[in-house]
Structure formats: structure tokens, C-alpha cells
Amino acid sequence: MTPRPGVRKAVLVTHVTTSVGWLGAVAAYLALDLTAVFSADPSTVRSAYVAMGLIAERVIVPLALAAVVVGVINALTTPWGLFRHYWVLLKLLLTLFATTILLIESQTISSLADAAASGDDPRGLPGTLPHSIGGLVVLLIVLIVSVYKPRGLTKYGWRQQQRGRREPAPSP
């Protein structure tokens, strides 16, 4: 069953909003991470780590989870499907990978924020630069794949296409 165009567009707008929001939040997080690692001022470093904890917990994780759920709904309600085209499958796998790493890394982020807030000098804390840079790169790749939509049907998509060609069109 194909949803009405208004519903489909609402799902698409929600998907784009959560995905772009996730990308923007990760960019802001990266700015905080760079500040935490390279600043010489203890209060600035402390503030950066505390902000990193808040943005990860209250913005990035919810947007990532929403992007996954709404992205799957979006794919299932469009002709692209979830498993028919390699570009959709690639987006799904990269998004699930990024979300999994984020959920694992969120424990570290929370621990760093707590350590920085403890009052000790936070300048020796390690930061999370490899993860924040990696996350941003993965999300940019997902964005590029979304825009360019490289051609190619999966085996499942090819079978679905062949099945559709063999079945007669419904009579009016």
C-alpha cells in the first residue's frame, strides 16, 4: 500500500530534518571536541566536555535514532524500497554503523563529561576526536550517496523488477 502524497512528503521532510540535524549536531560536537583537546584554559576545557556530554545525550543520540527509524519508514513507503537499490542499502548500513558506534561511544562521552565536571584539571582528558571526525565523515558520505543515488539494483531489487514486468497491469 502506497501512502498518500501528503503523508509521504511529511515522512520525507522528517527524515531530511533528522538527518541534517544529526549532521549539524555532530559538526557542533566536533568544534567542542577540538576545543576540549587543544584549549589551554581549564574552564574552557571543562565547559567543552560538559557541553559535549549534553549535546551527545540530548541531541545527537535522539536525532540518530530518529533518522534510522524515519529513514526505514521513508524507504519502505517509496518506490526505492529498503533492499532494492545498492545506494539505499549502503545508506542503511552506514547509518546503522554510525548509530551503533555512537551508542557505544556515548558511555565514554558521559564519563569524560563527568570527569571534567568533577573539579580536577580536565586538560589531560583524551577527547573523542577520532570518533567525532569519523562520524562526520560517515554522515557526509551518507549525504553524498543520498544526493547522487548511484545506480545499481540489488539481486532482490532485480528480481522485484523482473516480477513486475511479468505481471499484467491491473485493469481499470
Tens of each residue's pLDDT in the chain, 172 residues: 567 888 989 999 999 999 999 999 999 999 999 999 999 999 999 999 999 999 999 999 999 999 999 999 999 988 889 999 999 999 999 999 999 999 999 999 999 999 999 989 999 999 999 999 999 999 999 999 999 998 899 888 888 888 877 766 555 5
* Contact between 36 and 127 (Cβ < 8 Å): yes
Residue with cell 536525532: 63
C-alpha cell, 3: 501512502
Q: What Rg do the C-alpha atoms of the chain give, in angstroms?
A: 20
The rounded distance, in Å, linking the Cα atoms of 114 and 89 is 37
Among all chains, which residue has been given the C-alpha cell 547509518? 95
Total Cβ atoms within 10 A of residue 166:
6
Domain coordinates of the chain in residue numbers? Answer: 5-163
